[in-house]
Structure 1
Amino acid sequence: MSGRESDCKEKAWARAAGRRISSCEVGLLISLVLLVGSSVVPGMVACRRARVRKNAYEGLMNVVTACRMLYHEYSGWPDPLRAPDYDMEFGARVPTRKLINVLSANDGPGNWAHSVNPARIVFLKDMDYFRYGRGGIDQTGDLLDPWGTPVRVVLDSNDDGFCRAETGEIEPVADEKAIAWSAGPDRSFGTDDDVHSWRQLPPRH
């Protein structure tokens, strides 16, 4: 074997070894990426779900706070929101737009000619149009949760110290002038993933 042939074979072996090393490195890199991905992706999904639930809770609290402000501003519920024998519920049989118009000082259903909120005070501010994952007002004026379901709101219309849902979906809630709740991700009321204004979310829900 000549020196030239020997050099050629050595170079060929070196190239082959280099290719084998590169293939091993690529395989290792792919394995690492898959391993990291399998750990990170579930965490990212969980964080997003928690963030959306937080958005839902904050939206509910905004409405409840606005209702409290309305009550205190008028030293009680305006007459159309009073009821001697029951509590008014919005979001089931009565659309939430009738309450939202009152809280937002809009001339519309539930507040025609500003009859319920004659001072035209905007108690519910910065309400955006609905976006999935954020919630907001739809084209009809109803308030939707981040998953696209109308929220439920109950006022203590008879001032007996309890908020009772007309639909019976929840137990009476004491010591609240108004409550609100969302059907949660499954969009079905009365299940474990509902979000309630009177129940704070766990720190890492």
Structure 2
Amino acid sequence: MQKKIGLYFGTFNPVHMGHLAIANHMVEFSDLDEVWMVVTPLNPLKKKRTLLEDHHRLEMVYLATEDYDHIQPSNIEFGLPQPNYTVNTLAHLEEKYPEYNFALIMGEDNLNTLHKWKNHEVILERFEVFVYPRITSAVLKDEFQNHPKITKLDAPIMEISSTFIRNAVKNGKRITPLLPHKVWEYIDEMNFYKL
């Protein structure tokens, strides 16, 4: 039987305990065998001052996941043409790893914008989508209600945001419980987010 990999995309700027809780929940409470945390590369055309360079964000995901056997960091998008589209990444992964079966992991808020994604019909035709809850007032679009490829999981609602963490670090707040220990050490040592 093919190994089933859940792809959890994000800038992970920085990766935090909320990300890990969701990834771990997906492995433990779904039929996914592994979760790959796919670090989204910096779009050179949309360079944000607060977005750390790709290799720093990838390093933090490595540090955060090294104690989890079924959660892996991935830099698969780093070598793909920019701007990158999920449908292209999925095609690339299928070609590179024919022995795996891939699925997408996304928040409920992202599901409502899925219809705007490039070739979203192809994604839904070929891949399962695992959805974790977010606090949102948006009503789910009809086309995604009871869709056979969409599974909504009763995961814990995580309202920790990377933006909150960056602002807290900048303001000198102690937020160590929100970050894996080694990630906090890396941020502190590198003086990230302080300016």
Structure of larger gyration radius: 1
Q: TM-score, normalised by structure 1?
A: 0.24
Q: Report which of the two has the higher share of strand.
A: 2
**Higher RCO structure, 1 or 2 (CA under 8 Å, sep 6+):** 2
Q: TM-score, normalised by structure 2?
A: 0.25
